[in-house]
Structure 1
Amino acid sequence: MSTLLTINVKNLQSQTQKFFFFQEPAVYSGGGDVYSNSLYSQSLGNYNDTGGELTFQVNLQYYAGIQEASSVPVVGNSSGYSSAWRAIDLAPASGSTSQPSDCTTATISPLGLGAAQYEEGVEAGAFRVITPSFTAPPYYNVGSAVSVNGTIVLSNFVQANPMNNTDCQPILKYYVQTGTYTQGTVMNFTASSTNSALADFTGGYTVCNVSLNADGSWSTQLQ
């Protein structure tokens, strides 16, 4: 049974707030600028008035993603349209004899990702996406996708180069912020992560309880 990472949110402010969730960008090699998408967004009323809580769940399974786009990423716009995903493993540390399925090869027509296979030379803790020859536009985003509340979403990405290897090392840190970025919308990670709530699952925790306090501060508790 797969492991779920869970963030439970309470709103202790008097007004209904809209929250969105996003992930710390992966470490990439073989690509350009890194972009982030909102993973989920929902409104939540005051906890004392409604008793309501907002639950965000991410499957710990890693996914490689590719997405077709008509333009370069723009903050506030959807990152793209047609997409494909592939469950994938992460490359082992140097010196390991294991051979996980840590690499997938993309196709453009039709858009897709081939079955993951072992590839030598992938960065430790990362997976690799191999892109074929193509001429832009259209553009192609490749990166880390996650299964959020049962839906797979491209979490963070780079614009792919043709005939290129992109290594992506996901980071298990998620953030909660107030705002209106809907799922799949490009956001400014630096601006959005400032004064946000951090759920750091890198230490093996699987649940983070988050409260937006009446004074605008955040409280978090990992378990």
Structure 2
Amino acid sequence: MSTLLTINVKNYQKQTQNFYFFQEPAIYTGGGPVYSNSLYSLSLGNHDDTGAILTFEVNLQYYAGIQQAHTLPQVGSASGYASASRAVDLTPRSSGSSPNNSTDATVTPLGLSRAKYEEDVQAGAFRINTPIAGSPPYYNVGSAVAVNGGIVLSNFVQANPNSHTDCQPILKYYVQTGWYTPGNVMNFTQSSRSAAGCDFTGGYTVCDVELDSTGKWSVELG
């Protein structure tokens, strides 16, 4: 059975608030600048008035993702359109196993091959091989996650042709007030500065987040 990471949000501000969720960008080797997408967004009323709790669930399974785009990434706009994903394993930090840590991209049709073992992928990462052109249409590759029943490209770089990208995901997620449609590019640095952070790297699976009446966050991991 898959492991779920869960974030439960309570809003104690008097007015209804919009919240969106996003992930710490992975560490990439290969490719250009790293971009982040919103993963989920929903409004939430005052907890005392409504009893409502906003729950965000993400599957701990790692996914490689590829997405076709007509333009370079722009904050506030969809990162792309047609996409594909593939479950992958991360290279362990100790030797002795052969994980399915690599996948090959294709563009006609768009897709990712069944994951296989590749020897020189760095520890904690998976690899996407990209024998594709670097001119429009563009191709985004990176870390995708299964969120609330769907798979979303969480963070990405633009693919270099005839190359590969190693991606080392980070299990840290954020909650922020405001609205970004899932799959739209956001400014990670700006959004994370005053957000509530849920760091699951220590083996935690549940994070309870509260926004109090003064706008201050409280976070409890369990």
Shorter-chain TM-score category? over 0.9
Contact between 2:16 and 2:46, CA under 8 Å: does it hold in 1? yes
Percent of pairs with identical residues: 70
Identify the residue that residue 122 of structure 1 maps to in structure 2. 121
- The 5 Å alignment of 1:131-150 reads 131-150=130-149
**What amino acid sits opposite 1:35 in the alignment?**
Y
The alpha carbon displacement at 1:132 in A equals 1.0
Identify the residue that residue 62 of structure 1 maps to in structure 2. 62
Give me the whole-angstrom Cα distance separating, in 1, the residues matched to 2:13 and 2:92: 45
The alpha carbon displacement at 1:134 in A equals 1.9
Contact between 2:37 and 2:182, CA under 8 Å: does it hold in 1? yes
The secondary structure found in structure 1 opposite 2:25 is coil
The secondary structure found in structure 1 opposite 2:190 is helix
Identify the residue that residue 152 of structure 1 maps to in structure 2. 151
**What amino acid sits opposite 1:212 in the alignment?**
L
Identify the residue that residue 14 of structure 2 maps to in structure 1. 14
Contact between 1:108 and 1:132, CA under 8 Å: does it hold in 2? no
Contact between 1:101 and 1:119, CA under 8 Å: does it hold in 2? yes
The alpha carbon displacement at 1:135 in A equals 4.6
The alpha carbon displacement at 1:138 in A equals 0.1
* Deviation string, structure 1 residues 47-95 (Cα, Å, up to 9, x no partner): 001000000000000000000000000000000000000000001225x
Structure 1 residue ranges without an equivalent (≥5): none
The secondary structure found in structure 1 opposite 2:189 is helix
Give me the whole-angstrom Cα distance separating, in 1, the residues matched to 2:134 and 2:35: 21
Give me the whole-angstrom Cα distance separating, in 1, the residues matched to 2:132 and 2:170: 29
Q: What is the TM-score of this pair, normalised by structure 2?
A: 0.99
Count of aligned residue pairs for this structure pair: 222
Cα RMSD (Å): 0.7
The secondary structure found in structure 1 opposite 2:152 is strand
Moved over 4 A (4+): none
**What amino acid sits opposite 1:109 in the alignment?**
T
**What amino acid sits opposite 1:128 in the alignment?**
R
Give me the whole-angstrom Cα distance separating, in 2, the residues matched to 1:134 and 1:30: 15
The secondary structure found in structure 2 opposite 1:68 is strand
Give me the whole-angstrom Cα distance separating, in 1, the residues matched to 2:174 and 2:133: 35
Identify the residue that residue 75 of structure 2 maps to in structure 1. 75
The alpha carbon displacement at 1:6 in A equals 0.1
* Deviation string, structure 1 residues 94-124 (Cα, Å, up to 9, x no partner): 5x01000000000011000000000011011
Give me the whole-angstrom Cα distance separating, in 1, the residues matched to 2:58 and 2:179: 20
Give me the whole-angstrom Cα distance separating, in 1, the residues matched to 2:137 and 2:212: 44
Structure 2 residue ranges without an equivalent (≥5): none
Give me the whole-angstrom Cα distance separating, in 2, the residues matched to 1:166 and 1:135: 14
Q: What is the TM-score of this pair, normalised by structure 1?
A: 0.98
The alpha carbon displacement at 1:133 in A equals 3.1
Contact between 1:172 and 1:202, CA under 8 Å: does it hold in 2? yes
Identify the residue that residue 31 of structure 2 maps to in structure 1. 31
